[in-house]
Amino acid sequence: MKLNMRTLPTLGKVYLVGAGPGAADLITVRGARLLEQADIVFHDALVEPEMLELCTHAVKVPVGKRCGQLSSAQHFINKRLIDAAQQYNIIVRLKGGDPMLFGRADEEIQALKGAGIAVEVVPGITAALAAAASIGQSLTLRGVSRSVAFVTLAQAPEVTQNAHAVLPMQNPCADTLVYYMGRKDAAKIAQRLIDQNNPHTPATPVQIMEAVSTARERLWSSTLGQLAQGKADSWFESSSPALIMVGQALQNTSLNLERSSSKIDNGLQDSLLLTHGQRRA
């Protein structure tokens, strides 16, 4: 007697891919290949248009989050990834920087695994490392800085709805501090560090980078004291992601107080966007 076996649907695989800091040629080779092969790509708001040119055959779905703007709720993104895995073979969730740093990757991984869907993380270059490379100053320095902390004041909406304090957590104790998504609280961050005085003072160097690694990259170079006085408030460009780096390792007397722009060599990047779907790194 021949049994009729019900055929279970084959689920696709989801890849959480780090897009890197911005420039299309700073994505990893594995990440670029997956974009090339993807059937559908769910991408963050901060992903550059040049990056999306790498996935010419994929359905592109924006699911980004921007401060102060209408954004996709995380539970809704999770559901869309699960639904997509039932329709497509290769699903890419393209995240700015590295998925595992302030990217809410854990929530997506748990949701996908709970639904029995295979998931793989492809790391990317986080903005702090690209910013240090751009200004030619290490976040660590022998005899000066032996510790680095990556910090964000951003919280989930369900937390901030009932939160009244602007800065709900203590600043970490590290020689070099890098603040992600801290533009609106920049002056308050600086004043709190000065008040804490361990080890930062009003003379501690500050480097603020916007749109790291892209043609729009900008640098503001000064001190904690100047930042606390709001000197950078009018400099910020609200449409660009900003990174605030604080610490003695960032001292560089050759930089101007404010450098409005940096010239980015896009020659290499352009050379990587080859025709006929072929790309090399």
Provide the annotated active-site residues. 44, 65
Residue pointed to by tokens 């900008």 = 218
Record the tokens describing residue 28, joined without a space.
């990893």
Tally the C-alpha atoms within 13 A of residue 119's C-alpha that lie toward its C-beta: 22
User: Cis peptide before 199, with omega less than 30 degrees from 0?
Assistant: yes
DSSP state of 55: -
Tell me the CA distances in angstroms from 141 to 21, 175, 182, one per residue in order: 23, 10, 24
Sheet holding 13-18, edge to edge: 59-62, 40-43, 90-95, 13-18, 119-122
Q: Is the dihedral of CA 156, 161, 163, 167 positive or negative?
A: positive
DSSP state of 9: P
Q: What residues contact residue 105 under an 8 Å CB cut-off, 6+ apart?
A: 16, 95, 99, 121
From the list 34, 19, 39, 50, the residue with the least C-alpha distance to 273 is 50
* Phi-psi group of 230: left, alpha or beta (phi > 0 → left; psi -120 to 50 → alpha; rest → beta): left
DSSP state of 20: B
